Every structure is written in structure tokens, then in C-alpha cells.
């Protein structure tokens, strides 16, 4: 319970001016408020003064065109591995520069830790930026680096993890191969480590380094509390790619090759369900994946299909016979999926560019992204339309300090919010 309430005059720096506003604060969460007037946003959050992120997010076409012109003639300022290594030689300097401890955490957040995994193979600055956006000292973070990634990348991320007590590199690293079971094993390895690290976290969210949050940590906590043990895993039973699971595949001469028809049937007479490699998993679901015989048998069966990461979670979550905790009982096609938003043209709009059928977001996509109900957006490139991620970072940062009203009604009406 909050012990007292007061109204405090504070100053908010929005990169273009300074405004004074009145905020309701509570006695046990005012550590940051007390120093807000003196707080200067660190350089990495200062958007270029040539553009106005607020106008871009509001969909102002003139400002969007201005941002596009600016990006055409100005390259993004990237942080190199060497710079990160130099910064992390002194962890105090690293934390002070990147402000990993900048955000106030209220009791509601502390009582509901979240575990994350980040899968990466390049772009250390984008990974650090994602980590910074979701970092809270009471959460837990597992980073999986491809075994084939450069030695410098491994060294840099290990040094970053060494500066943050609740961030670690996975204990078993996979050489992740596209469409191969190694992608799935990378997540399972992080799940195993996270279970051993703490018995406190409530949910697990797996992320590629090219995603970025659409919600603040507090908003995620409120959403996951409403989920109440249900997992949020995509399920597709139409539009199945039968060639992916009707045949066996093996990694031969640096590529995945079909080696013949798949033998046997899916264990327990379960049905194949397709979905995303990414999801929101309850702690009980994670324990089921790691320890339950049914889950292990399904994994064994799927080890030689193509893209098992797109079938394993979905099949476990949408088969009543497999008895996964937090599973969805009903037609998978009618279940909303809110783990991440990806735009698939021509079904969805895309103001950026299309790469392998998916949209790489640009500044013109921000107006829609900030209105989405999903927790994350996929995907962004650090060297393409880079102001899109800059402005989204500014938006999430400012929303953390000045929270918007939370739409609990929408999430409470979701059809999977139930316990089996």
C-alpha cells in the first residue's frame, strides 16, 4: 500500500523546451521525483533537433517528409564494439552513461518480475538499446549470442552483462541456423538458465534483437497480471506449410536439406499447429517445457522438421491432450496474439521497406505502432530509417515518466484470459 500521496511540481525535459506540470506521487516511489528538476536526459536519448518526434508520431506528413530528407543525407551515429568495451572497463561509468538505473520502479513492478531472453548475432548497439529499454533491476535477462558470431561481439556482450547483476549470457550457446532446431534450442537453453536463476519471475518473453517495446515495464506488468497464468502464443491451423513438417531435414554442406518423408506421427495424437517463434510464456508453461515428458516427446519429434520454432510453442499451447499449463482451449485461429506486432504487406500497411515479406518499420509507421495493443514491434534495422527507433525510444521513455491511462478493459476481454 502507498503510505502517502502528494502533488509535486516537477520539470519535464522534452528536448525542445521545458515545461512544468503537476504529478501525483507516492512516498515510496519519489526517489526520482525528488531530483527530476536537476535531471538531464543522457545524450543517447536526445533526438536530433532537426526533427520533432511528437509530430512524427502524430502522423504529421510534413514532419515525416522532413525526417526522411534528413536521414537521406545523415547517417546514424552507431556505437561500436570497441566503444562499449572501453565503457564497460568501468561499470560505474557504463551504468551512469546509459542510465540503466534511471527509471523509478514501483512496488507493483517489483512484485511481478519478468524474465526475458534476447537472441542476437550482430549489431551490439541495437541489442544494448533493446536491453536498456526493458531493463529493470528486479527483472532477469538472458542473452544468447550465436556461436558463429565474432569474438568481439561475444566479448562486448559479456562485458555488458558483467556490469548488470541480473543480465547474463546463456550457459549453453548454439550455432543458430536458419529454419533449424538450433533456433528453438537457443530459447530453451535460456529458459533452463532463467528457471535456475530465480523462482520469483512470473512470465518469460523471448525476443530477437530487432524488436522494440511498445509498452513500458509497468504496462507489461499490468497486462501480464490480467493474463493470470495464461500464455500468449500464436496459433494457426489454416495456411499450413505441409512441406515443413511432412518431411525430415538435415544440415548438410552449410544448408538445410530435405532428406525424405517424415517418419511416425506427432506423439499423443496431437495436431500440428503453426505460430510464431516468439511469445509470452507463463512460468508454469516454461517449467512444463523443461521438465514434462509430453513436451520433451513433442520436441524430439520436431527436431528434424523445418522451422520447428514456428510449430513447437503453438502445438503445445493449442492441444488440449498435451495439458500445457496456461494453454488455450478453443479455435486457435480465433485467439488474438499480442506478444509482438509484425506488418505483413499487402495485408498490412508498411511505410518502410519489405524484406523477406515482412515490413522494416520507418518513421511513417510510428503513428500506428503507438496505438497497437501488442507488447513489442518487429522489426527495426539500426541503419535503415533509424529515426523510427529513435522516436519510439523517446516515446517509451517519456511514457515511463508520464504514464498514459491504461486500457485494462481491452485486455480483460481477451478470450484466452482463463486458467484451464
Residues with catalytic roles? 310
Orientation angle between helical segments 124-134 and 81-88, nearest 10 degrees: 50
Helix, strand or coil, per DSSP, at residue 320: helix
Q: Is 148 exposed, middle or buried (0-12, 13-18, 19+ CB in 10 A)?
A: exposed
Dihedral (Cα; 402, 408, 410, 413), 10-degree rounding: 170
Show contacts of 70-73: CB within 8 Å, 24+ apart.
70/387, 71/385, 71/386, 71/387
Rg (CA), the chain: 22
Sorted by sequence, the CB contacts under 8 Å of residue 99 that are 6+ apart come out as 42, 45, 132
Cα separation, 39 vs 176, whole angstroms: 42
The sign of the torsion formed by the CA atoms of 198, 202, 204, 210 equals negative
Q: Cell numbers for 300, please give them.
A: 524430439
Helix, strand or coil, per DSSP, at residue 182: helix
Sorted by sequence, the CB contacts under 8 Å of residue 20 that are 6+ apart come out as 9, 10, 11, 12
Region of 307 (left: φ > 0; alpha: ψ -120 to 50; beta: rest) is: left
User: What is the chain's percent helix, strand, coil content, to nearest 5?
Assistant: 40, 15, 40
The helix (run of H) or strand (run of E) holding residue 307 is none
Contact at 8 Å (CB) between 416 and 328?
yes
Nearest to 218 by CA among 131, 109, 137: 109
In angstroms, how far is the first alpha carbon of the chain from the final one?
A: 31
Cis peptide before 6 (omega within 30 of 0): no
Contact at 8 Å (CB) between 365 and 343?
yes
Q: Cell numbers for 281, please give them.
A: 510464456
Amino acid at each position: 500500500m502507498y503510505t502517502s500521496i502528494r502533488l509535486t511540481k516537477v520539470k519535464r525535459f522534452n528536448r525542445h523546451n521545458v515545461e512544468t506540470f503537476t504529478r501525483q506521487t507516492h512516498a515510496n516511489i519519489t526517489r526520482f521525483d525528488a531530483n527530476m528538476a536537476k535531471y538531464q536526459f543522457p545524450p543517447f536519448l536526445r533526438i536530433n533537433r532537426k526533427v520533432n518526434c511528437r509530430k512524427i508520431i502524430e502522423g504529421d506528413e510534413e514532419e515525416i517528409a522532413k525526417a526522411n530528407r534528413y536521414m537521406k543525407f545523415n547517417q546514424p551515429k552507431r556505437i561500436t564494439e570497441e566503444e562499449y568495451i572501453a565503457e564497460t572497463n568501468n561499470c560505474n561509468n557504463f551504468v551512469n552513461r546509459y542510465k540503466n538505473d534511471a527509471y523509478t520502479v514501483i512496488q507493483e513492478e517489483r512484485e511481478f518480475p519478468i524474465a526475458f531472453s534476447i537472441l542476437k548475432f550482430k549489431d551490439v548497439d541495437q541489442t544494448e538499446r533493446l536491453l536498456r529499454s526493458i531493463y529493470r533491476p528486479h527483472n532477469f535477462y538472458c542473452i544468447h549470442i550465436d556461436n558463429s558470431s565474432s569474438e568481439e561481439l561475444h566479448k562486448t556482450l559479456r562485458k555488458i552483462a558483467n556490469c548488470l547483476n541480473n543480465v547474463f549470457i546463456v550457459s549453453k550457446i548454439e550455432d543458430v541456423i536458419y529454419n533449424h532446431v538450433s533456433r528453438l534450442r537457443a530459447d530453451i537453453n535460456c529458459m533452463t538458465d532463467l528457471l535456475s536463476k530465480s523462482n520469483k519471475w512470473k512470465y518469460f518473453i523471448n525476443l530477437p534483437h530487432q524488436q522494440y517495446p511498445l509498452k513500458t515495464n509497468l504496462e507489461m506488468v499490468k497486462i501480464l497480471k490480467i493474463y493470470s497464468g495464461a500464455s500468449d502464443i500464436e496459433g494457426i491451423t489454416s495456411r499450413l506449410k505441409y512441406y515443413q513438417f511432412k518431411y525430415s531435414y538435415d544440415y548438410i554442406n552449410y544448408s538445410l536439406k530435405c532428406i525424405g518423408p517424415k517418419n511416425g506421427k506427432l506423439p499423443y495424437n496431437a495436431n500440428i499447429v503453426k505460430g510464431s517463434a516468439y511469445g509470452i510464456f507463463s512460468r508454469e508453461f516454461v517449467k512444463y517445457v523443461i521438465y514434462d515428458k509430453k513436451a520433451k516427446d513433442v520436441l524430439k519429434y520436431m527436431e528434424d522438421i523445418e522451422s520447428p520454432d514456428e510449430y513447437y510453442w503453438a502445438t503445445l499451447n493449442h492441444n488440449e491432450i498435451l495439458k500445457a499449463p496456461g494453454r488455450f482451449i478453443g479455435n486457435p485461429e480465433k485467439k488474438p496474439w499480442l506478444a509482438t506486432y509484425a506488418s505483413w504487406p499487402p495485408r498490412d500497411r508498411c511505410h518502410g521497406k519489405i524484406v523477406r515479406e515482412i515490413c522494416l518499420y520507418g518513421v511513417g509507421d510510428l503513428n500506428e505502432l503507438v496505438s497497437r495493443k501488442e507488447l513489442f514491434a518487429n522489426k527495426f534495422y539500426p541503419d535503415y530509417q533509424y529515426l523510427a527507433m529513435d522516436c519510439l525510444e523517446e516515446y517509451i521513455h517519456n511514457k515511463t515518466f508520464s504514464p498514459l491511462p491504461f486500457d485494462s478493459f481491452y485486455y480483460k476481454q481477451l478470450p484466452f484470459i482463463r486458467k484451464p
